[in-house]
Structure 1
Amino acid sequence: MSRRVFLRWLLFIGALLIGASAYFSQKVKKTFLSGSQVDPSTAAADPEPSSTAESTEMPQTGPLLSYFILSDLHVSVGDPQTKSKLRQALDDITHFDSPVDAIIMTGDLTDTGTERDYKELHTIVNEYKLPPVHANMGNHDYYTIWINQDNSWDQKAVPNGKTDALSREQFMKFFGYSKPYNEYKVKNHTMLLLSQEAYVQEKPEVGEGAWYSDDQLAWFKASLKANYVPGRPLFVMTHQPLPVGDTNGATHQLIRAREFRAALKPYKNVFVFCGHRHMDFQNGVAHYVQETFHYFHNSSVGRPLNKAYQQEVKHKSQGLYVQVYADKVVLRGREFSNRTYTAEADWTIELQKANA
């Protein structure tokens, strides 16, 4: 055998041995590797799950939505304290250590509803870089009829050349609304803001109560139906509180209360907020009542009151901070004067699941 032929024969035998070795190596791996283990030689064939897919599957642990409810600001050119307190609140909110996606003002934005009080409110709000601000009307936002041309209180001359329609127009112009009651959506959650639609110039019988028209109540019922999502909270803002029990309200209350409660009855996880009472979170009065819905009475930014409706502690200024999670809603009373939470106003409401 020549040397050249011998070398070719050795190369052929070597190739056979390498192939056999690889074959038996794969057989051994298939036999002894458990089903939960991955053969490193074939791992690249299975694509790695993307980071996007992983983040989609992981539950969100933080709040889905966070916002403030500010009630009864009572901003007035003639009352420096109300202006100072609103600035305290807005300064706290703009430097807040948690997210704030919106600010909701639930009525009595001004003390007299006059053009000059609205200008004062506009000046203060424009001093801060704020999230979206929305509002409804309270009884004091109709008070311009009590004010004469000299900007003095003149009860004898009511309506002092003014109308309730003028009050509504001033409010709608300030917020850019086409009607006094509105729907606001933020981060897939709905807020329905109901507004008092008449005062004593048009309807003397309502007194300081909140009168809602047939049109507003029809809108309210339709909006509840259209926006309700099982398992998700829905928020309703009023100004005047509901009367106790199955009755309609009168002055200082929501007048068509039976119809309002009946509209809410079919739905779970509805949260209703009112202002008007000005009750200090720390005076022992109940601020949360559970009906077929969760009912909260806010305090006041401009003038918190004690049980006897007195401004006992004039430095206080309070509001509600609301955080919405996938399975609960957390509500905390905020004292703006010293930037702390009030222990007496701290609630966690578990949400009823969609299939419950």
Structure 2
Amino acid sequence: MSKNPIIEFFVISDIQLTVNNKKSHEKLKFALQDIHAINPNPDAIIINGDLISDGRSESYLKLKEILESNAYAKRTFFTIGNHEYFLNDGNQPSIERFLSFANLDQVYYKQVLEDYAFIFLGTESWGPIGAPTKDSAVLSEAQLAWLESALEEHRGSEKPVFVFLHQPIPNTIPATDLEYYQNGIIQSKELIDILSQYPQAIYFSGHSHWDLSLPGTYLRKVFSMVNTGAIYDTYGIGDNGEETVVNAEGSQGLYVQLYKNKVVIKGRDFSKKGWIDLADIAFNGEKELSC
């Protein structure tokens, strides 16, 4: 194995920034500074949904200001989460604000870095408030057809394919067995059917804020799934058996290193500047090590 990674990138999610929430500003700044200290020139940073908390244009402007005033990768890719819809003025206005910020044409797209595919998915609908599917990902038939087409050229390859969606697949990684997450992706069956054709796929999701130090952050089920933690607070199970904030100062993300024959995924605790070893994944999709 080459000592030098082919690609190195970070995955963070759930910044949930607003203009008036100074804590959200400081957590993002601290994470970006730690990322820069680890690797000042990563190949990419992926921000996997819930960039902002309220869906407002001014929050996007503040986010842009913080990103541009702190060292961050020139290639930074974004996915849309549920909080980007929280202004509650309709799907299309919410999507348009996100696309304008991220300089995208649609919420799903593909990038290729060093001949490796990065596929970004995004919910196209939200709400209404009070509905059991309020925070669910809705993937249109067009998006699912696009995903099938985008993956087709990688059929039979052992090269990993990196797939990003804010919401996790129900009944997989931690928290997704809870009632709130049962409708987390309305088209979860269709998504699973597609990804299961590609055992080299690695699916990254946020949304749950689940603390990376808790068991089960990495899961292998035909393809691989990884929890991306959260920049704003980390969650777990409280004494009452319910989901709750377990670390209000918690701020976590992933550092991914792609080598010739495996992918190394490390959890990073930005608040403590410490590592959480997660998994080494061989290119045939078989997990070699999980800590």
Same fold (TM over 0.5): yes
Matched, 1:293 2:223: yes
Stretch moving more, 171-180 or 285-294: 285-294
- Alignment partner for residue 251 of structure 2, among 303, 309, 317? 317
User: Which whole-Å CA distance do the structure 1 matches of 2:237 and 2:208 have between them?
Assistant: 10
User: Which whole-Å CA distance do the structure 2 matches of 1:326 and 1:203 have between them?
Assistant: 48
The equivalent residue for 2:49 is 107
> C-alpha deviations, 1:44-90, integer Å up to 9, x for none?
xxxxxxxxxxxxxxx74311111000011111123211111100111
- State how 1:227-266 maps to structure 2 within 5 Å: 227-228=154-155, 230-244=157-171, 253-266=184-197
Matched, 1:143 2:73: no
The equivalent residue for 2:261 is 327
Native 8 Å contact 2:11 2:253 kept in 1: yes
- List, as ranges, runs of 4+ consecutive aligned residues in structure 1 with deviation greater than 6 Å: none
User: Which whole-Å CA distance do the structure 2 matches of 1:265 and 1:230 have between them?
Assistant: 14
Q: 1:92 to 1:250 in 2, by over 3 A?
A: closer
User: Which whole-Å CA distance do the structure 2 matches of 1:140 and 1:97 have between them?
Assistant: 29
> C-alpha deviations, 1:272-310, integer Å up to 9, x for none?
01101101122x341111111011112101121122433
Q: Structure 1 residue 319: deviation in Å?
A: 0.1
SS of the residue aligned with 2:126? Answer: coil
> C-alpha deviations, 1:18-61, integer Å up to 9, x for none?
xxxxxxxxxxxxxxxxxxxxxxxxxxxxxxxxxxxxxxxxx743
SS of the residue aligned with 1:349? Answer: strand
Q: Percent identity?
A: 27
The equivalent residue for 1:116 is 58
The equivalent residue for 2:289 is none
How many residues get paired? 274
SS of the residue aligned with 1:311? Answer: strand
- State how 1:1-356 maps to structure 2 within 5 Å: 60-97=2-39, 100-131=42-73, 132-145=75-88, 162-201=89-128, 206-228=133-155, 230-244=157-171, 253-282=184-213, 284-308=214-238, 309-342=243-276, 345-352=277-284
User: Which whole-Å CA distance do the structure 2 matches of 1:219 and 1:236 have between them?
Assistant: 13
Higher RCO, Cα 8 Å, sep 6+ = 2
Given the two structures, how large is their TM-score scaled by the length of structure 1?
0.72
Q: Structure 1 residue 205: deviation in Å?
A: 6.5
The equivalent residue for 2:288 is none
The unaligned stretches of length 5 or more in structure 1 are 1-58, 146-161
Q: Structure 1 residue 188: deviation in Å?
A: 1.4
The equivalent residue for 1:40 is none
Given the two structures, how large is their TM-score scaled by the length of structure 2?
0.88
More helix by share: 1
Q: Structure 1 residue 128: deviation in Å?
A: 2.2
The unaligned stretches of length 5 or more in structure 2 are 173-179, 286-291
Higher Rg: 1
Letter in 2 for 1:112: D
Q: Structure 1 residue 228: deviation in Å?
A: 4.7
Native 8 Å contact 1:194 1:237 kept in 2: yes
Native 8 Å contact 1:332 1:346 kept in 2: yes
Letter in 2 for 1:317: S
User: Which whole-Å CA distance do the structure 2 matches of 1:178 and 1:254 have between them?
Assistant: 22
Q: Structure 1 residue 252: deviation in Å?
A: 5.4
Alignment RMSD, CA only?
A: 2.3
